[in-house]
Amino acid sequence: MGDAGRSGECDARAVLTGNGITKLYLVRHAFAAHADPEQWPDDAQRPLTPDGIRKFRAAARALRLVVPSVDVVLSSGYSRAWETAVLLHDVTGWPGPLECPPLEAGAAASSAVDILRGRSEDSVALVGHEPHLSNLASILCAGDEGFPLELKKGGVVHLRFDEEVGPGRGRLRWALSPKILRTIDAASHQAERGHAALDQA
């Protein structure tokens, strides 16, 4: 994983005016190594841990059942977020990510709203960080950053829009923690084993 194969950057200016987004998925990056200035002087380079990768693969398998496809994936360029977005592509078959600086840690959530306003796709997934993603969800659903929502690492939130994306125009449809996603994955594998046993009976 890492920086290889980056497929470009998001750019609202490159998209036609108007907005077709009705479904938005916010994905927090999976578990990463602890911040260590000696090992990673640039925190943007801090990667996922092997256990974080393993657990998120299971979560992504479940997400593939819940959300079989999206039109575009925009991701923070920080290694931990980018690697998560690449895992989503590898496991779910979602499109390869586009690098999106407004999703980086420390960026203003309002800047991501501007990016979304410029998109013409129907379904969009964003991969990034906390508290950026929860602040973004709060702005989109409540109009400001006061809505109490926190995304666990590897968790996913789904918002719906009936009109152009903007503050207060989104509806929270569901939020899935990584533990719930892994439970769905385990149940799916158990069901597959049960079907296999019946076929052999």
Residue 156 lies in a domain: yes
Considering the domain boundaries, does residue 2 fall inside one? no
Question: Does 69 fall in a domain?
Answer: yes
DSSP string, 27-76: EE---BPPP-TTT-SSGGGPPBPHHHHHHHHHHHHHHHHH----SEEEE-
Asked if residue 3 belongs to a domain, the reply is no
On whether the CB atoms of residues 127 and 29 are closer than 8 A, the answer is yes
Could you tell me if residue 6 is inside a domain? no
Whether residue 1 is predicted with pLDDT greater than 50 in this model: the reply is no
CA–CA distance, 75 with 128 (Å, rounded to integer): 6
Tell me which residue of 3, 19, 44, 8 sits closest to 115, measured CA to CA: 19
**Residue type, position 143, single letter:** G
Q: Which domain holds residue 40?
A: 12-200
Residue range 65-123, pLDDT digits in tens: 999 999 999 999 999 999 999 999 999 999 999 999 999 999 999 999 999 988 999 99
* pTM: predicted TM-score of the whole model, two decimal places: 0.89
Tell me what pLDDT residue 14 has: 41
Average confidence score pLDDT of the chain: 89
Q: pLDDT digit string (tens) for 154-163?
A: 999 999 999 9
Closest CA to 178 of 76, 70, 48: 48
Total domains in the fold of the chain: 1
Name the more confident of 132 and 196. 132
| Phi, psi torsion values for 23, nearest 5 degrees | -130, 125
What is the distance between the terminal CA atoms of the chain, rounded to a whole angstrom?
42
CATH number of the domain residue 41 falls in: 3.40.50.1240
Structural domain contains residue 4: no
Determine the residue type at 135: N
